């Protein structure tokens, strides 16, 4: 075992990517494991006058492929992983993620909680955190980010954001039920910096 994974879950817009940058560890973006938009098995959501793909449903995502990539990173220290283009609902290619000898790495994404049990069963898990904020803070951060990056039509982003605002308590509760500890961004930063600072000699046992 070359490394262990720290799972970073939380609602879309909760600040997972920003926190990952602050912590400074290698990052596996789990949102890159979405299914292609042309996949007929994608779940659908009634929104306004018609249906759109429900990108917030775990069935829109390739869980087994994500866990396999995490295991390869833990055991080999590097893995070839997909690069997903959200604006075009599809993969834009592959890239090699190399941990460079780091004893820990972060796996973050809106479905990150779904990999916790699989990682624990394989002895890969160092810790699992769910980043949470006030719902309206998350709503505003998510909306401004999605508009800035032109991820979808603005009206779709607004309607989707209101659905996510309503569902956020359930999202956090689900992550906690799957083994994540809820923390604010600052709490998570202090906690994970302490964990990784103490782990300079290599992966620690699971808590």
pTM score of the predicted model: 0.80
pLDDT at residue 35 tops 60: yes
Domain residue extents for the chain = 4-196
**pLDDT tens digits along 52-111:** 788 888 999 999 999 999 999 999 999 999 999 877 888 999 999 999 999 999 999 999
Structure tokens at 10: 């939380």
How far from 151 is each of 22, 33, 103, CA to CA, in Å? 24, 17, 34
Query: What would the mean pLDDT of 188-196 be, rounded to a whole number?
Result: 95
Q: How many residues does the chain have?
A: 207
Q: How far is CA 205 from the centre of its chain?
A: 23
Task: Decide if 174 contacts 58 (C-beta within 8 A).
Answer: no
Dihedral of the alpha carbons of 31, 130, 194, 137, in degrees to the nearest 10 = 90
Per-residue pLDDT tens for 74-89? 999 999 999 998 778 8
Q: What confidence category does residue 48 fall into, taking pLDDT thresholds of 50, 70 and 90?
A: low
Q: Which CATH architecture has domain 4-196?
A: 3-Layer(aba) Sandwich (3.40)
CA 139/CA 171 separation, integer angstroms: 13
């Amino acid at each position: 075992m070359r490394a262990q994974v720290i799972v970073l879950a939380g609602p879309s817009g909760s600040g997972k990517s920003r926190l990952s940058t602050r912590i400074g560890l290698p990052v596996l973006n789990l949102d890159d494991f979405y299914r292609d938009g042309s996949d007929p098995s994608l779940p659908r959501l009634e929104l306004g006058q018609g249906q759109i793909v429900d990108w917030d449903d775990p069935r829109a995502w390739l869980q087994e492929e994500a866990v396999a990539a995490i295991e390869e990173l833990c055991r080999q220290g590097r893995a070839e992983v997909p690069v997903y283009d959200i604006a075009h609902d599809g993969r834009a290619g592959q890239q090699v993620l190399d941990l460079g000898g780091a004893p820990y790495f972060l796996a973050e994404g809106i479905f990150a909680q779904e990999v916790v049990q699989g990682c624990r069963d394989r002895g890969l898990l160092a810790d699992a955190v769910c980043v949470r904020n006030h719902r309206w803070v998350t709503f505003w951060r998510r909306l401004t980010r999605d508009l800035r990056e032109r991820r979808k039509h603005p009206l779709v982003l607004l309607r989707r954001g209101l659905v996510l605002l309503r569902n956020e308590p359930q999202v956090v509760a689900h992550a906690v039920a799957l083994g994540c500890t809820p923390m604010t961004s600052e709490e998570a930063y202090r906690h994970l910096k302490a964990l990784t600072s103490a782990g300079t000699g290599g992966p620690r046992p699971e808590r």
